[in-house]
């Protein structure tokens, strides 16, 4: 619990420091507009690209195939949009990495590992209707 709390404090301080530095370099209004723009883009990505990814998972299941790759793609797309929607530049950079196809391949093994771990513990179940 201490590590999570310490990590949250370090993240918050890093995010605030970055906001102050960028605000001093490009101006306060420009910084605020940039944060608002990335939030709007993140919401758009979650709504449109995320729903397209969910449809891909449904189509994969309808064909009787395992939804592994489509499910991971959906998870990363939605996560990238969510991180873009959150205010802050560190989350924006990570969100962009999750949305870019070439860098998304870097994160796919991590998500597969996490999903396998959850499935073994019985905490992650795929139900087909």
Mean residue pLDDT across the chain: 86
CA distance 10 to 8: 6
Residue for token digits 């883009």? Answer: 41
59 close to 74: Cβ distance less than 8 angstroms: no
Q: Examine the pLDDT at 63 and tell me if it is beyond 60.
A: yes
pTM: 0.79
pLDDT band for position 114 (cuts 50, 70, 90): confident
Residue for token digits 């690209």? Answer: 49
Domain ranges of the chain: 2-121
DSSP code of residue 53: H
């Amino acid at each position: 619990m201490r590590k999570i709390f310490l990590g949250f404090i370090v993240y918050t301080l890093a995010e605030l420091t970055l906001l102050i530095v960028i605000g001093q370099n490009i101006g306060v209004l420009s910084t605020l507009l940039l944060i608002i723009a990335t939030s709007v883009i993140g919401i758009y990505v979650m709504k449109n690209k995320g729903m397209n990814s969910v449809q891909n998972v449904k189509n994969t299941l309808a064909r009787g195939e395992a939804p592994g790759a489509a499910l991971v793609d959906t998870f990363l797309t939605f996560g990238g949009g969510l991180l873009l929607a959150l205010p802050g530049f560190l989350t924006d950079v990570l969100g962009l990495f999750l949305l870019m196809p070439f860098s998304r391949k870097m994160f796919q093994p991590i998500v597969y590992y996490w999903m396998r771990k959850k499935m073994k513990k019985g905490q992650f179940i795929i139900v087909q209707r």
